[in-house]
A and B are shown apart, each in its own frame.
Chain A
Amino acid sequence: MSTTTWGWLVLAFPLAGTIVIGLGHKRLARGPAGAIGTLAILLAFASAVASLISLQGRDEHARQLTSSLWDYAVTGSIDARLAILVDPLSVFMALTVTGVSTLIHLYSVSYMKSDRGNARYFAYLNFFVFSMLVLVLAANFLLLIVGWAFVGAASYLLISFWYRRETATKAGIKAFVINVVGDVGLVLGTFFILRHSGTLDFLGTFRAVEGGAFASHEGALIAGCLLLLVGAFAKSAQLPLHTWLPDAMEGPTPVSSLIHAATMVTAGVYLISRMHPLFEAAPAAANVGAIVGCATLLVAGTIALTQTDIKRVIAYSTMSQIGYMIMGVSAGAYAAGMFHLLTHAFFKALLFMAAGSIIGAMAGAQSLDKMSGFKRAMPFTFGCFVVGGLALSGVPPFSGFFSKDEILAFVGAREGWFVALYVVGYVGAFLTGIYTWRMIFRAFFGRPCEEAVELEHGHIAHAEFPTNPANGEREDTDVGFPGPEHVIAERELPMKGAMAVLAIGATVLGVLQIPFVTHVIESFLDPTFEDSRFNAVHPSDGLIWFGMALGTVVALLGIAIAHHVWVRKPGTAAALQQRFSGLHRFLVNKWYFDELIDLLVVRPWAALGSFFRSWFERAVVDGLFVGGATGVVQAGSAAVRRLQTGFLRYYAALLLLGGGAVVLYFLIASS
C-alpha cells in the first residue's frame, strides 16, 4: 500500500471506533467498549508505523506526499479538498498521538471500569484521537480548522464528562469558549494568508511565500501569523489564554493525561512548526511567540509552586513545558521542540497516570494537603512518579534533560535578546525541579496518612460518601458522576502495563537525540524543515556543554531545595508562606489572571448583555418589531371587521354600489 493509504487508515480506525462505540453504547458498556476503543487506536498506531516505514523507504526529497480523497470546493480562487499531507512531521505527530493514546486507552479500561458512562467515555476518547489526527494530518488550512474545532469539542465533552458536577460543566464551558477564541484567530489568520497566497494547501502556500506573494504585503503576513498564534496560544494554554487548562483538570484523570498534557495542548507547537516558512518570513510574529512562550514557562512555574491540587500542579507544569516548546519552535528549534513534545508526552502522561493512581488510593481526593507517606503503600506508583519527576525536572540521563537542553541551547545560540529567554528558561528549569519534587515529597514522604496506612494493610480507602474534590459537595455514583470503585496501579494490570511502557519511554527516549552522539529526530524531520533558514544556526560545543552542566545543576539544586523544605525541615514551607504572605497569595491566586480576564472581558460583555436584555430587547425588539407588527395587523383587522355588519341589505347595497361604480367607470372610460 502507498504511504498515503496508510495515512488514511490512521484516520479511519479511530473514526470507526467512535461510530461503533457511539452507536452500540448500550450493549458495549463496561467490557467491550474499552477493548474496542483501545484496539481501534492500536490499529491506528500500527498504520502510523507502517506509514513511517513506507515513508522512510522513499527518496529523502520525496517525503512530502499529499493525497486528496474528495474535492469539496475547487474554483479559481479557492481549493478546498479533503486531503492529507503525509510527511515526516505529520507522521511524527501521528505516531506520538496514537502511541500515547493507545497506552492511555489501556489505562482507562481499568480506571473507568466502574463508571456508568463507560461506553460514552470511550466513544468520546476515540473521537478525540480522530480529531487530533485530522489536525496533524491535514494538508490544507480548511481541514486543519476542522480538526482544530473537533479537538476543542472533544475536549469540552471530556472535561464535562461528569456532567452532574457543576464545577466540571463550568470548566468545560470555559475551555470551550477560550478555545473558540483560538479558532476565530486561526480562521481569520487563514483568511489573511489565503488572500495573498491564493491557495489553502500548505505546500502551495509555502511555495507562494517563497515566490514572494507577500513581498509587498508584509503586514498581512505578520497579521496572519499573529492570528495563527492566537489559535496556538488558546489551544496550547499560553498566556493570556491559559486559564482553561488548570480548570480542565475537572475531567477524568486519563483525559487530563491524554488531552491536557500529551496531545491536544501540543497542537499549538505543531501549528508553529508546520507553518515555519510563514513564521520565518514574518520574524516579528515568531518573536512574539518566543516571548509569550518564555513568559508562560516562568509564570506557570511560579504558580505551580503554591498549588495544592495534585492535578493542577501537573497542569501548570504542562503549561510551563509547552512554554518551552512554543519558545523553541518560535525561535527556530523545530527538531528540538518536537523532541521535547515527544518526551513530554511520555513523562507527563506518566505523571498524570501516577497521580490518577494516588487519587484512587485517596478515594477521589486530590489535595496534596491530605496526602502523605504513600511511598511504602504504593511502590510502583512511587517509582513511576520518581521517573516522571526526574524526566520533567531534567536530570540526566532521563529524556527531559536532553530535549529541554536542546531547546535552550538553540535559543542561546540565536544570541542577541534571545539570551534573556535562555536565562529565563533555566530559571524555569530550576522552578520545575522545586515544584515537581515538592509534589512528590508531599505525597510520598512523611508520616503516612490514614489512606496510606489502610493501603499498607491491603484495603483501598473508600470515603463514607463520594464528594466532589473541588468543592466538597456530596455526590452519588450514578451516571454523570465517577463510578463507585477506586483503582490503583498496583492492582490493575492494564494500568500497570501502560505506566510501565511510559516509564521506560520517559527514561530512555533521550537516546534519540544525544548531543554529539545521535540525531535521529533531527535527521528524520529534516525533509520537512530543510528549507528553514535557521538550519545554519548551530550552538557551539562550549554552549552545549555549558547548557548541559547548568541544566543538571539547576535541576539538582531545585530538587535539593524541595528536599530541604518539605522533607528535612517540614516547617520551612509554612514559615516561608508566612514571611512572604503577599507573594504567596499572589501565586495561590494564579497571578490574578482569572480576575483580570473577568474584569476586562467577562464583565463588560455581561454588562452589555444585560443592557441588551433589559433595554434593547424590551424597547426595540418587543416594542418596535413585535409590538409594531401586531399593532398594524390589529388595527387593520379592526377596520375590516367594522364592515362586516351582518345586515343582508347592507351587503346587497354595497354590491350594487360596487357594480354601479364599475359600470360607471366603463361608461366614462368609453366615452
Chain B
Amino acid sequence: MDLAWYLVVSALIFCIGAGGVLTRRNPLVILLCLELMLNAANLALITFSRMHGNADGQIFALVVMVVAACEVAVGLGLIVAIFRRKLPIDVDELKELRG
C-alpha cells in the first residue's frame, strides 16, 4: 500500500480535530479534539519515519505522547478547577482576557 494514504488519514484526523477545537464550546470536547490533532501528527511522524527509513520520527512520536499525557492532565485539572468555582463549562463565557 502506498504510504501516502497514511498521510491522507493523518490529514483528515487533523482537520477533524481542528474543526472540533474551533466549533465546540465544551472544554472537555476541545481537549478531546486536541488529542485527535496530536495523534494525527503522531501518525504523520511515524509515516515519515517509515518513508525515510529513519527512527527519529518514532522517537518524536513517543515524546509527543508523553507531552499529550501531561497536557491532558493539566487540561483536566483546569476543567475541574473551573467546575469547582461554579463557572460555566463553556469557553465562550470565559473571556476575561479581553483587551
Q: Which of B18, B23, B30 gathers the greatest number of chain A CB atoms within 10 Å? A: B18
Partner of A649, one of B21, B97, B98, B99: B21
Hey, what's the 0/1 contact readout for A629-661 against B, CB within 8 Å counting as 1?
A: 000000000001111111111001100100000
Known contacts being A649-B91, A649-B92, is A644 close to B21, with CB within 8 Å? Answer: no
The residues in A between 345 and 396 inclusive whose CB is less than 8 angstroms from any CB of B are none
Could you tell me the distance between the alpha carbons of A652 and B22 in the complex, rounded to whole angstroms? 7
Known contacts being A649-B22, A653-B22, A656-B18, is A644 close to B99, with CB within 8 Å? Answer: yes
Residues of chain B with a CB closer than 8 A to A648's CB: 30, 91-92, 94-95
**A646 contacts B97, C-beta separation under 8 Å:** yes
Residues of chain A with a CB closer than 8 A to B95's CB: 645-648
Q: Is B2 an interface residue (CB 8 A)?
A: no
**B22 contacts A641, C-beta separation under 8 Å:** no
Could you tell me the distance between the alpha carbons of A168 and B99 in the complex, rounded to whole angstroms? 59
Query: Distance (Å) between the CB of A86 and the closest chain B CB?
Result: 75
Query: Distance (Å) between the CB of A84 and the closest chain B CB?
Result: 69
Query: Distance (Å) between the CB of B58 and the closest chain A CB?
Result: 23
Could you tell me the distance between the alpha carbons of A656 and B23 in the complex, rounded to whole angstroms? 13
Name the interface size band of chain B: 10 to 19
21 pairs from A and B in contact (CB 8 Å cutoff) = A640-B99, A641-B99, A642-B99, A643-B99, A644-B97, A644-B98, A645-B95, A645-B98, A646-B96, A646-B97, A646-B98, A647-B91, A647-B92, A647-B95, A648-B91, A648-B94, A649-B21, A649-B22, A649-B23, A652-B22, A653-B22
Interface residues of A (CB under 8 A from B): 640-649, 652-653, 656
Residues of chain A with a CB closer than 8 A to B30's CB: 648
Query: Distance (Å) between the CB of B81 and the closest chain A CB?
Result: 16
Q: What are the nearest 10 A-B pairs in CB distance? A: A644-B99, A646-B95, A646-B98, A641-B99, A648-B91, A646-B97, A652-B21, A653-B22, A649-B22, A647-B95
Residues of chain A with a CB closer than 8 A to B18's CB: 656
The residues in B between 28 and 64 inclusive whose CB is less than 8 angstroms from any CB of A are 30
Query: Distance (Å) between the CB of A650 and the closest chain B CB?
Result: 9
Hey, what's the 0/1 contact readout for B1-23 against A, CB within 8 Å counting as 1?
A: 00000000000000000100111
Query: Distance (Å) between the CB of A654 and the closest chain B CB?
Result: 11
Query: Distance (Å) between the CB of B94 and the closest chain A CB?
Result: 7
Could you tell me the distance between the alpha carbons of A649 and B94 in the complex, rounded to whole angstroms? 11
Could you tell me the distance between the alpha carbons of A653 and B23 in the complex, rounded to whole angstroms? 10
Residues of chain B with a CB closer than 8 A to A644's CB: 97-99
Residues of chain B with a CB closer than 8 A to A641's CB: 99
**A656 contacts B22, C-beta separation under 8 Å:** yes
Residues of chain B with a CB closer than 8 A to A656's CB: 18, 22
Query: Distance (Å) between the CB of A12 and the closest chain B CB?
Result: 68
Hey, what's the 0/1 contact readout for B75-97 against A, CB within 8 Å counting as 1?
A: 00000000000000001101111
Query: Distance (Å) between the CB of B19 and the closest chain A CB?
Result: 10
Query: Distance (Å) between the CB of B51 and the closest chain A CB?
Result: 17
Could you tell me the distance between the alpha carbons of A369 and B42 in the complex, rounded to whole angstroms? 110
Query: Distance (Å) between the CB of B91 and the closest chain A CB?
Result: 4
Residue of B nearest to A645 (CB): B98
Residue of B nearest to A641 (CB): B99
Could you tell me the distance between the alpha carbons of A643 and B99 in the complex, rounded to whole angstroms? 8
Residues of chain B with a CB closer than 8 A to A642's CB: 99
Given contacts A645-B95, A645-B99, 13 further A-B contacts (CB under 8 A): A642-B99, A643-B99, A645-B98, A646-B98, A646-B99, A648-B92, A648-B94, A648-B95, A649-B21, A649-B23, A649-B25, A649-B92, A652-B21
Residue of B nearest to A660 (CB): B18
Residues of chain B with a CB closer than 8 A to A646's CB: 95-99
Could you tell me the distance between the alpha carbons of A649 and B23 in the complex, rounded to whole angstroms? 8
Residue of A nearest to B18 (CB): A656
Residues of chain B with a CB closer than 8 A to A647's CB: 91-92, 95
Residues of chain A with a CB closer than 8 A to B97's CB: 644, 646
Query: Distance (Å) between the CB of B8 and the closest chain A CB?
Result: 16
Could you tell me the distance between the alpha carbons of A645 and B96 in the complex, rounded to whole angstroms? 9
Residues of chain A with a CB closer than 8 A to B21's CB: 649, 652
Query: Distance (Å) between the CB of B48 and the closest chain A CB?
Result: 15
Could you tell me the distance between the alpha carbons of A472 and B94 in the complex, rounded to whole angstroms? 77
Residue of A nearest to B21 (CB): A652
Could you tell me the distance between the alpha carbons of A640 and B99 in the complex, rounded to whole angstroms? 9
Q: Which of A642, A644, A648 gathers the greatest number of chain B CB atoms within 10 Å? A: A648
Residues of chain A with a CB closer than 8 A to B23's CB: 649
Residues of chain B with a CB closer than 8 A to A649's CB: 21-23, 25, 91-92
Residue of A nearest to B99 (CB): A644
Could you tell me the distance between the alpha carbons of A153 and B43 in the complex, rounded to whole angstroms? 85
Residues of chain A with a CB closer than 8 A to B94's CB: 648
Could you tell me the distance between the alpha carbons of A641 and B99 in the complex, rounded to whole angstroms? 5
Query: Distance (Å) between the CB of B60 and the closest chain A CB?
Result: 18
Residues of chain B with a CB closer than 8 A to A643's CB: 99
Could you tell me the distance between the alpha carbons of A646 and B92 in the complex, rounded to whole angstroms? 8
Residue of A nearest to B94 (CB): A648
Query: Distance (Å) between the CB of B24 and the closest chain A CB?
Result: 8
Residues of chain B with a CB closer than 8 A to A652's CB: 21-22
Residue of A nearest to B95 (CB): A646
Residues of chain A with a CB closer than 8 A to B25's CB: 649
Residues of chain B with a CB closer than 8 A to A653's CB: 22
Residues of chain B with a CB closer than 8 A to A645's CB: 95, 98-99
Residues of chain B with a CB closer than 8 A to A640's CB: 99
Residue of A nearest to B25 (CB): A649
Residue of B nearest to A644 (CB): B99
Residue of B nearest to A651 (CB): B97
Query: Distance (Å) between the CB of A169 and the closest chain B CB?
Result: 54
Query: Distance (Å) between the CB of A63 and the closest chain B CB?
Result: 82
Query: Distance (Å) between the CB of B20 and the closest chain A CB?
Result: 11
Could you tell me the distance between the alpha carbons of A109 and B95 in the complex, rounded to whole angstroms? 80
Residue of A nearest to B27 (CB): A648
Residue of B nearest to A637 (CB): B99
Could you tell me the distance between the alpha carbons of A644 and B95 in the complex, rounded to whole angstroms? 10
Could you tell me the distance between the alpha carbons of A653 and B98 in the complex, rounded to whole angstroms? 16
Residue of B nearest to A648 (CB): B91
Could you tell me the distance between the alpha carbons of A646 and B95 in the complex, rounded to whole angstroms? 4
Could you tell me the distance between the alpha carbons of A237 and B95 in the complex, rounded to whole angstroms? 77
Could you tell me the distance between the alpha carbons of A645 and B30 in the complex, rounded to whole angstroms? 19
Could you tell me the distance between the alpha carbons of A656 and B97 in the complex, rounded to whole angstroms? 20
Residue of A nearest to B33 (CB): A652
Could you tell me the distance between the alpha carbons of A4 and B35 in the complex, rounded to whole angstroms? 92
Q: Which of A644, A649, A653 gathers the greatest number of chain B CB atoms within 10 Å? A: A649
Could you tell me the distance between the alpha carbons of A640 and B98 in the complex, rounded to whole angstroms? 11
Q: Which of B18, B95, B97, B99 gathers the greatest number of chain A CB atoms within 10 Å? A: B99
Could you tell me the distance between the alpha carbons of A656 and B37 in the complex, rounded to whole angstroms? 12
Could you tell me the distance between the alpha carbons of A649 and B22 in the complex, rounded to whole angstroms? 5
Residues of chain A with a CB closer than 8 A to B99's CB: 640-646
Query: Distance (Å) between the CB of A60 and the closest chain B CB?
Result: 88
Residue of B nearest to A652 (CB): B21
